[in-house]
Structure 1
Amino acid sequence: MSIKLSFAKMLALAIAGCATMATSPSFAASVAVLAFTNSVILTSEAMIERTEVDAGGRESTALKQPKDVIVVPGDRVIFTLRYVNKGAEPATGFRATNPMPGPVQFVSVAEDWAEVSVDGGATWGKLANLKVAVKGAEGNVDTLRQAVAEDVTHVRWIFTSAIPPGAEGSVSYRGLIK
């Protein structure tokens, strides 16, 4: 029972406060809804992806809210950030940064223009282009190795075009419960 509660609690915390908007230093957050001074509003949602088998033996994929299932290690999670520009002006320079929640390992991002970080947000790029420092016996960096999905600490989307007034959309990434 404690495992079920701890994973559910960690996932709820991950959903509630995982997105930030980098072009605005001040923001108000309330349970998975973030509003920013430039009038772009983000809402964050996590869904658990389950494979179900019907009476005929056919498999299908279903998305479940975390509150409706027992979340366990190995579950696949889809995080979706929905955005809408509620302002009267286009939102320029918009970027959304999502730290990887502690109980979740990065798997993939839906948008090919998204970037990831493997060092807490200090550097960004495509996972295939990032390296991770490997420390030797004395704690010094001895070598660099190719970064892998388990190393991802943040996901970031930089919108190259302005978001027009009233425009809305979404970005997403997949994770795996550790």
Structure 2
Amino acid sequence: MKWLGKIVAILAAFSAVPAPVAAQESAPGAGSPVTLAGDVKAVKTVTDAEGVETVELVEPEVIVPGDRLVFGTDYANTGSETVSDFVVTNPVPAAVRLAPDADPDLVVSVDGGKTWGTLSELTALGEDGATRPATHADVTHVRWTIESIAPGETGRLEYPAIIR
């Protein structure tokens, strides 16, 4: 029954905050013409009448530990000028961990956003207080830097996660 409470808490967390928080960190103090919209989709395998399996991204309904999700952020430059070096930072919710098949070049933090790098470059403190290589379960934030966003340009940023 303990796992049932965890499932209810996870569902409540995702229904209360239907999209990941996305933060723009370029040009502090300047109004940015870039808009951000986040969402969370569950990964579902569907088998058709011929037995062919396809993977679909659907609205999360009942999710349990081990289920896969995809966190996404859509961006759009609604201004009239190109935006350069636009940074988007998404916190990874505590109820999930970064999936092992996430892009190894993804820039992440394992310390709440204080330091950044690829997962292979980072370390974390183990339960014994010793430094160890960081793992997907240690990731607290994901960050992208978009080199250039032309006026009217749109795009999508995603990372896969697994329910803890």
The 1:111–1:95 alpha-carbon spacing in structure 2 relative to 1, beyond 3 Å, is farther
What is the identity percentage for the equivalent residue pairs of Structure 1 and Structure 2?
Answer: 34
Cα contact 1:110–1:171 (8 A) shared by 2: no
One-letter code aligned to 1:106? L
Corresponding residue for residue 18 of structure 1: 21
Cα separation, 2, equivalents of 1:14 and 1:122? 24
1:155 aligns with 2:146: no
One-letter code aligned to 2:11? A
Note the C-alpha offset of 1:82: 0.8
Q: How many residues align?
A: 160
Which digits, 9 at most, give the CA deviation of each residue in 1:38-68, with x for residues without a partner?
11001111110012233444322121112xx
Give the TM-score normalised by structure 2.
0.85
Corresponding residue for residue 108 of structure 2: 116
> RMSD of the alignment, in Å?
2.4
The 1:18–1:100 alpha-carbon spacing in structure 2 relative to 1, beyond 3 Å, is same
Which runs of no fewer than 5 residues in structure 2 stay unpaired?
none
Secondary structure, counterpart of 2:10 in structure 1 = helix
Give the TM-score normalised by structure 1.
0.79
Cα contact 1:74–1:177 (8 A) shared by 2: yes
Note the C-alpha offset of 1:15: 3.6
1:128 aligns with 2:120: yes
The 1:63–1:17 alpha-carbon spacing in structure 2 relative to 1, beyond 3 Å, is closer
Note the C-alpha offset of 1:135: 5.5
One-letter code aligned to 2:144? W
Cα contact 2:20–2:39 (8 A) shared by 1: no
Which digits, 9 at most, give the CA deviation of each residue in 1:6-44, with x for residues without a partner?
322212345435211112557xxxxxxxxx921100111
One-letter code aligned to 1:9? A
1:167 to 150, 153, 156: 153
Cα separation, 2, equivalents of 1:3 and 1:149? 20
The 1:50–1:17 alpha-carbon spacing in structure 2 relative to 1, beyond 3 Å, is closer
